[in-house]
């Protein structure tokens, strides 16, 4: 019998997976500019609860977010529209980091 904690971790992983899938769909939408695809992909993870994730899943997500923070550190980002200021190579790097989460 599964404990409530493991059930919560499974549900949280499913939520993370669904958000990651949505983020990848946003990244693949060539009808939008790269900055908008990247901002939409990042927003897909908004509100994701880290607490119920397994330690491994939480570490993977936190590592991805820290690497993205390293990429965006040199840019004055205050709003999602500010992603327009990010160089194409850095937008590509952010997309790569998101895609390799799973």
What is the C-alpha to C-alpha distance for residues 27 and 95, in angstroms, rounded to an integer? 7
pTM higher than 0.85, yes or no? yes
* Cβ neighbours around 83 below 10 Å, total: 23
Domain hosting 30: range is 4-99
Instruction: Identify whether the C-beta of residue 86 lies closer than 8 Å to the C-beta of residue 38.
Output: yes
Distance (Å, rounded) from C-alpha 23 to C-alpha 44? 6
Q: Cα–Cα distance between 82 and 10 in angstroms, integer?
A: 35
Name the domain count of the chain: 1
- pLDDT tens, residue by residue, 5-35: 778 889 999 999 999 999 999 999 999 999 9
> 36-45 in b/e burial notation, b at 16+ Cβ within 10 A?
bbbbbbbebb
37-59 pLDDT, tens digit per residue, is 999 999 999 999 988 999 999 99
């Amino acid at each position: 019998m599964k404990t409530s904690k493991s059930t919560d971790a499974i549900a949280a992983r499913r939520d993370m997976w669904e958000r990651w899938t949505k983020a990848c769909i946003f990244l693949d939408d060539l009808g939008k500019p790269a900055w908008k695809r990247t901002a939409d992909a990042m927003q897909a993870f908004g509100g994701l609860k880290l607490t119920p994730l397994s330690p491994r899943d939480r570490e993977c997500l936190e590592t991805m977010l820290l690497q993205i923070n390293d990429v965006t550190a040199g840019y004055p980002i205050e709003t999602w529209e500010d992603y327009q200021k990010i160089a194409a190579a850095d937008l590509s790097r952010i997309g790569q980091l998101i895609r390799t989460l799973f």
